[in-house]
Each structure stands twice: as C-alpha cells, then as structure tokens.
Structure 1
Amino acid sequence: MDGGSGLRFGRAPGGWPVLGHFVALRQRPLEFLDSLPERGDLVEIRLGPRPAFVLCHPDLAHRVLTDFRGFDRTGPVYEKVRAAMGSGVATVPYQDHRRQRLVMQPAFRHEHLRGYVGVMRDEIAAAMDGWSEGQVVDMVEAMFRLTTTVALKSLFSARIGAREAEELRAAFDVFLRGIYTRAALPVAGRLPTPGNRRYARALIRWRGEVERLIEDYRQAGGDRGDLMSRLLAARDDEGRALTAEELSDQVAVLLLAGGETTSAAVVWALHLLQEHPEILARVHAEADTVLAGETAGWEHLGRLDLTARVVREALRLYPPAWVVVRTAVRQTRLAGHTLAPGSMVLFSPYILHRRADFHPEPHRFDPDRSLSGAGGAGHRGSYLPFGGGATKCLGEEFGVAEATLVVASIAARWRLSALSGGGVSASARVVLTPKAFPVRLSDRSARPRATAAV
C-alpha cells in the first residue's frame, strides 16, 4: 500500500560529506525544517552516512503514527535513547508500549489533576516569590527549573527535598543536552570529550538517585496521592506491577514530558506574547480579572480561556517534540517511494503545523484561530504537538494545564522586557526550546491597576 496517492518525494540538497545534514539540524534546525516541504511531501535527508525520510504531509504522518506493523520505535536511534533514558513508555517498541501505557494511564485520569495542580500552584508561587523588581532572569533556565521541580514533586511528593530536587534537575539538564547529539550522530557519544564525561557522570548520578527514591517508597508503603504511589499500585490486565527497572525508566520519561516539554511551551508562549503586545494586553486583562492578584490554581483553570489558547497556539508554532523517529520494519511505500526495512522515518510536527494549506497564515501567532474554525485543526495529522495514535502523550492534560497556570500567574504579577531585542534562536536538543530568553522583570502589582493591561 502506498501512503498518500499523489504526494511528492524529494531530496534535500546541501549535505556535508560524512556528516550529511546533521550540521544544519544542529546549527539552524528551524530554518532547515522550513526548507523541506518545498522539496516534497516525503523528503530524504542524511544523518551521517545514513538516509532518513522526513514526513512533510499530515496524511503521511497519520499513516506512520498509526501503522504499528509497518513502523515502530526500533533501530539504532532508539537503542541510543533507551541506553540513556531506559525502556519507558515513550521509548519502547509498540509490543511493550501497550502494556506500559495500560498500567500508567490510571495515574493520569482527570480526577487526579486537581491534586497535581495544587503542586503546580505552590511551586509557581515559590518561584515568583524569589523574583524582584528590575531583576534579569533567563526564562529558559527559570522555567526549566520550575517545571522539573513540579514534575519531581508530583512524582515523589514529600519524599524529595529541595537539595535532592536540585541535584536531580541539574543531572537531568546535562542528560538532555547530550542525548540529542548521541541520537542524531551516534559516533559523537564515543569521543573522550569533557562534555561526554559530564554526561556519563550525570547519568550515573541520575539513575542512582532515582533508584534510591523508588526504593524508599517501596519500603515506606502507603498512598501519598502522588504519581509514584499510583504507579507502584498500578497493575496490568494480568495483575502484574511495573518492575523496579520499569519504574525507574518511567521517571525519565515523565520528567522529560512534565519538565522539559512544558517549560519549552511556556517560554515560547512568553516570547510570542512579547512580540504581540496587543495579545499580551488581553492576557494581562484576563489574568487581572480571573486571578485578582492570586497565583493561578484549580479554581481558575476553567476560566483562563485566552491563556489556554495562547499555550495551544505556541504549541502549534513551536511544538516541543519537534522531531520524532520511527523505523520501517518492513518494505513499504510512501509518497511513491519505496522504503527498505530499517529505514529511518522522521515525523516533524513543526513542519506539519506550518503548512499554509492546513493552517492559513501559518507563521502568524493567532490564539483565536481555533475560535473561527479556520485552518486544519480538524484534519488528522495537521495538529500533533503531543503525537498521535496509540502513542500519544499521556500527560497532555497535565502539561497544558501547567503551562496555562504558569503563563497566567506570570502575566498577573510581572511585566517582562526582553533584553535580546525580542529575538531568540532555537536550541537543538530532544525538545525544541530557545537557547536563552533573558528578560527584565517589572512588578505589575506596584503599578496603578488602570494601566496594568496596556
């Protein structure tokens, strides 16, 4: 079966000897991805000596993400990822994924969200209480620190202290900076560089601390109402619990989803609001009306309509999971081109979200586009910031809720003035995040309310 009748196949020019297009993906990832759709709906690039095929049409993305017999999470890239992150729900092949997802899904039921939101509110308030008038803050670093702390506290509740949380967060940051390079260019991880040595030390520190925390939970027993308690109690349809190794592997996945991806969504949303003062004024007005000076919490979440749309539009323009890998497990045809077994296929929500035939004026930041029904939000495969099919991210509701609460709480209390002239560049790592976004803080609560939203 050919996925996508009438779709075009093409090849990207400009690959380097030996390295292929790895340099472009490393140094100018968004510019490179933007250039691919003009080459075709399925575009061949090279990562080192290996070819890879980039999906540039939502029909192809839907096909690959839902055809588990034809495409799976196998191959050299996933071997590298699993060697670092373990065999968690986001990294295992489909055969193992189904069991893990069934076991984990109850921990993400809607009725548990209120408790997680309580953790979010406490940590958001604590972070902002540490800010002051005129202070310069890199929001990339600050939001990563905040959201990984929320993820850790949601996982481990009272069992993790501030020092332990900071050590785990720091180790995880080193890990995230290194894993993208190792996945895209495996030879890089074998070089005896200072960065590789830091990566190895951070990975050992990370795994040891996570295993200790899980063992403490097992020994203490009881239900603390957090994610780890629910994961320890979870059973599959044959009554089997997650093993100690599986639990440890899930922590890395949950921190990646709950920490890195959420912080990226928040920073991109804040950056976009800085570039669109008329929309920022509306967000300020909503925050003033709904929050009335409080940190956003459960009782406010359902009324932060505009802020939630801002987050979802930021996820369209800058989806955190910007490139997702699948491997063809049998010979197949896509866009009229035959893929051999073992071929690497790259699904990029960033490309799909910026197609003008599915999202009118795709580069324009418009949180209201979903209200008008314009664009391709209803087309399968055209809006996939959390993936699709049976492997769609379990933490979507958690992540959108947290990002909405963070953006609203900051808007209610602080005005941000970008120090870099407003421009930011993307960092090539597992998650699409700005390299830096330094801002100067101005306390809105110290100003007359009449001028707060302008």
Structure 2
Amino acid sequence: MTTTAAVPEAPGALPLVGHALPLFRNPLGFLRSLPAYGDLVQIRIGPQRAIVLCTPELTRQVLVNDRVFDKGGAFFDRAREVLGNGVLTCPHAQHRRQRRLTQPAFHHVRLADQAEVMLEHVNAVTACWNDGQVIDVPADMEKITSRVLLATMFSTTLRPETMAHISDDLTVVLAGIYRRMFLPAVLDRLPTTANRRYHRANSRLRHTVASAVSGRLGAVAQDGGGDDLLSILLSARDPEGDGPGLSDIELADQAVTFFMAGVETAATTLAWSLYLLSRNRGVEERLHAEVDAVVGGRPATYQDIPKLPLAGGIVRETLRLYPPVPLMTRTATRDTRLGGCCVPIGTTIAYSPYLIHHRPDTCSDPGRFDPGRWAATAGRSPERDSFFAFGGGARKCMGDQFGLTQVVLALATIAARWKLRPAAGTDSRPQLSSTLRPKHLRMHTIDRAGGAPH
C-alpha cells in the first residue's frame, strides 16, 4: 500500500503559496481538472496540504465514516469562528446528541404549516415587482429566505434596515470564511480592511441573531412555547443522554447555524434556478405549462409539490450544477486507509460536491442543464450514487426537505406569474466564497399576464 507521499500533487503549485492562485483565479476550473491526476490528488495552500477526493466512492466513504473523518480542516476551523459548535460544525463527539436534540425542529409533519409561511413571504416580495423592472435576483431571493427563517424560527420579523444589514453581513462573512481558509491564522490579527470588515460583520450578525433568540426566549417565558423552530429547540430533551437539553451557548450556535444555512443556500439555489430557466427557454415553457395546469391562478401549496415534478427536477439539477457549498474539509482522527493509501492522523481531506457532480462518468454531459435527469422515467438518477449537495452519512443536512420545499414552492409561485431575463451587462459568473452564488445577477421582470415579449 502507498502512503500519502505517493499521492500525486496537482500541477501549478507556486513557491510559498502553493495552489492558492488557481483557487482564487479559477476555482471551479481548477476543481474540474483534478480527476485527471488520480482518484486522490494533493493540493497545497501555503505550507498546508490537503488530499482532494476525486471519486464519488471515496467521497461517500469519508462522509459515512464521520468518526474517522471528523469535521475539521481549514473550512470547518474557519466556519466555527462564525457558527460556533452548532450541529453543522461540532466534532463527532458532540454531534449525535446535538442531532437528536435539533432533528425534531425539522420533522416532516411540520412542513405543511411551514410551507404556508414560505408562500406568504414569496408573495410579499414578488408583489413589489413591476413589469419591466430590473431586480437584483440574489438580493430579492435572500429577502424571501431570510424572512421565512425569521418567521419559522423566531416567529418574528425585523426592520428593513436590519434585514439589509443581515444580507450585507452574510455576504462579507461567507466570503471571509473562504478567504481565510487559505491564510495563516497569524494574519487574522493584522488590522487590514478585509479583517476589520469580517470581524465587524461577524460580530453584528451574531448580535442580531442573539437578540432575536433573546426576544423569543422572553416571549416563551411569558406566554409559553409555540411551534416555531426555536421553541422546539427550547423544549427538546435527549432521551438517550443525561443532559437537560441545549445550553444557552448551544442554542445560540444552533440559531446562527440554521439562519446562515437556511438563508444563503436556499437563496443561492433559487437565484441560479431562475437564471438557468432564462437561458433554457424550452424548459421554462414546460415549467409554465406545468404550473398553469396544477395551480392555475392561485398560489402553489405544499400539497401541490408532488404534482410539480419538473419544478422539483429543475431545483435538483440546479443543485447538481451549482451546489451551494462547493468545497469542504474533514480531518483524519487516526491513521487509516483511503483509496489504497495510508492516511496519517491529522491529514486534511477535502471533498467537493461540485467536482463530483461535474465528472462525465457520473453524469453524461455534466455541464448541460437537463432537469429530465431527475424524472422518474429517466432510470437511475444522479441522486442515488453521486449527488452530494446535502452531504451524506449521519451528518447529511437535516434541513434538506425544508430547503427543497421552500425553493420548489418559490420557483413555482414565481413562474406562475413572471418570466425573468438577464439585464444588459449582468455578470452571472459563479462567485466562489463559502457558497457558490451568482456574482452580479440582475434580471428584467416580465409579467406573463401582459408583459412585453422577450
């Protein structure tokens, strides 16, 4: 058996900085290039090394064996600066208990009621659109998803200026996590503009969410709990443990985790879905026909989702092409074996849903937008073997159905009335931060009931 020293290194590394330059200049192209060099490929970021997994089999092996390949490495080390030790970022030793305590908040029986809240805020945001208006698509989608999270988690809303701060802070923090993955920790203390912006945004974001938590706790103490996510977390008890429930610190970390994950990933997926539809008119026409036949002139409902298979396929295909979190890391907790190699304890393992989703042997013509891949009649879909947008194993995203429900309903509701077209000069290239979001996606709104033809 070989050791990690025999794992090939990706070409293009420079002295001192390693592969940092291609990861900043063309990260997605760099990730797509790696399988050509082997199933396992080493990359260097400064003095740090990581082994990138280039096959779905190895990716699944690492995700399933979360005791051996624990949350760690550059991505999660930096994410903990923002999210603390919530269920997404905590080490294996804390995860099973946190999962048992937080899972009930996302039980499927709650989805029908949560869907009504989702639709209320989709309609509220899109009601402000006018025919021919140019909108900032990611920003408007973030308005929807942040309002949904506040309503379903805290049973509250925030002032528009606070919401604007949240949006700005999310953008800065997510970009900062990605950038700081590639920088030595010693540079964190330098009084650079980027460091100051990051720390200010992180502090304000956590303060905003903590204030919402505190306000909800006060309301629960006075009036009793409700059916929002925070009330469920407050009342959760671990039947397999000896603790009373989540501590105040754990509760705050879960709140920040749910808020960031629930707002950004859903908004990004919805924005990419609308953009891809605008570039694929045939799919768009079929979606309009499906939505018109199922919902007519009324808002879509949770009960309509099974009757909207194309809308569901569009969302899944968007997640395949643009998985919200394209690159993550784990850490080997003991000497182990991976792909025929000895992996020493402490080795950083990197995996990329984007890389796996774009392998031609896992998905034919992987760069093509084809929602038909997900149809029941299409045979074996990518989801069974090589779809990692929600992770895998015991640490698969517990909010996957909440997120899918929100995006499918929002997409169907928007498509029932609107068509969107890219505005002149728009730049829809992926902007890689901690999430894969469109860079500057501005689009014209066209009212299907009587807007100008495009």
CA contact (8 A) 2:272 2:438 kept: yes
Instruction: State how far apart, in whole Å, the 2-side matches of 1:145 and 1:447 are.
Output: 24
Structure 1 residues 141 and 378: CA distance shift in structure 2, 3 A: closer
Q: Deviation at 1:47? A: 1.7
**Shift, 1:321, TM fit:** 1.8
Q: In structure 2, what is the equivalent of residue 58 of structure 1?
A: 56
Contact 1:327-1:345 within 8 A present in 2 as well:
yes
Comparing 16-25 and 368-377, the one that deviates more: 368-377
TM-score for both structures, normalised by structure 1: 0.91
* Alpha-carbon separation, structure 2, partners of 1:358 and 1:183: 28
Give the equivalent residue in structure 2 for 1:234: 236
1:141 — aligned with what? 139
Query: 8 Å contact 1:424–1:437 — kept in the other structure?
Result: yes
For 2:249, the equivalent position in structure 1 comes to: 245
| Cα distance in 2, alignment partners of residues 205 and 105 from structure 1 | 27
Q: Say which is worse superposed, 248-257 or 182-191, in terms of deviation.
A: 182-191
Of 353-362 and 404-413, deviating more is 353-362
Q: Quick one: which amino acid aligns to residue 116 of structure 1? A: Q
Amino acid at match of 1:317: L
Corresponding residue to 1:112 among 110, 114, 118: 110
Deviations 1:279-324 (A, max 9, x none): 1110111122222233333243232211011001111111112112
> C-alpha displacement at 1:391, in angstroms?
0.1
Give 1:25 shift: 1.8
2:143 & 2:2 partners in 1: Cα distance?
A: 45
Residues 290 and 304 of structure 1 are in contact (CA less than 8 Å); yes or no, is this contact kept in structure 2? Answer: yes
- Name 2:382's counterpart in structure 1: 377
**CA distance, structure 2, for counterparts of residue 326 and residue 211 of structure 1:** 28
* Other-structure match for 1:42: 40
Distance in 1 of aligned mates of 2:433 and 2:158: 27
Asked if 1:225 corresponds to 2:227, the answer is: yes
Residue pair 1:102, 1:236 contacting (<8 A) in 2 also: yes
| 1:368 partner SS | helix
Call closer, same or farther: CA 1:310–1:376 in 2, change over 3 Å: closer
- 1:171 and 1:357 map into 2 onto residues whose CA distance is 39
Distance apart, 1:94 and its partner CA: 0.9
Paired amino acid for 1:402:
Q
Q: Deviations over 1:363-405 (max 9, x none)?
A: 221111133445563654x111100000000100011111111
Of 425, 432, 435 in structure 1, the residue corresponding to residue 429 of structure 2 is 425
What is the deviation of 1:163? 4.7
Tell me, in whole angstroms, the C-alpha distance in 2 between the residues paired with 1:78 and 1:59. 22
Query: How far apart are the structure 2 equivalents of 1:130 and 1:219?
Result: 33
The equivalent residue for 1:317 is 321
- Count of aligned pairs: 445
Q: Provide the C-alpha distance between the structure 2 equivalents of 1:365 and 1:209, rounded to a whole number of angstroms.
A: 38
Where do 5+ consecutive residues of structure 2 fail to align?
none
Q: Distance in 1 between matches of 2:268 and 2:208?
A: 25
Secondary structure at 1:394 match in 2: coil
2:418 to 397, 400, 414: 414
Structure 1 residue 420: Cα displacement: 5.1
2: CA distance, partners of 1:108 / 1:262: 15
Deviation, structure 1 residue 24: 1.7
2:448 pairs with 435, 444, 448, which one?
A: 444
**Which amino acid is the alignment partner of residue 124 of structure 2?**
A
- Retained in 2: the 8 A contact 1:2–1:334? no
Instruction: State how far apart, in whole Å, the 1-side matches of 2:160 and 2:234 are.
Output: 23
* Contact 2:75/2:178 (8 A) holds in 1: no
Aligned to 2:154: 156
- Aligned twin of 2:264: 260
**TM-aligned CA distance change 1:157 to 1:164, over 3 Å:** farther
Pick closer, same or farther for the CA change 1:199–1:273 going to 2, 3 Å. Answer: same
Deviations 1:127-163 (A, max 9, x none): 1111112111121222123212222222111364555
Q: Deviations over 1:150-201 (max 9, x none)?
A: 2222211136455544443433332222121112324453332222212212
Which deviations, in whole Å up to 9, do the C-alpha atoms of 1:391-449 show, x marking residues without a partner?
0001000111111111112211111111257862111211111112111111112259x
Which amino acid in 1 is paired with 2:248?
Answer: A
1:76 deviation in Å?
A: 5.2
Q: Is the 8 A contact 2:9 2:42 kept in 1?
A: yes
Give 3-state SS (helix, strand or coil) of 2:261's partner: helix
State percent identity of aligned pairs: 40
Query: Which residue does the alignment assign to 1:177?
Result: 175
What is the CA deviation profile of residues 233-273 of structure 1, one whole-angstrom value per residue up to 9, with x for unaligned ones?
11112352111111111122112221111111112211221
Q: Is the 8 A contact 2:373 2:382 kept in 1?
A: no
The one-letter code sitting in structure 2 at the alignment partner of 1:236 is: D
User: Cα 1:420–1:247, aligned 2, differ >3 Å: closer, same or farther?
Assistant: farther
State the partner residue of 1:389: 393
Q: CA deviation at 1:341?
A: 1.6
Higher mean C-alpha deviation, range 109-118 or range 352-361: 352-361
- 1:82 alignment partner, one of 80, 84, 97: 80
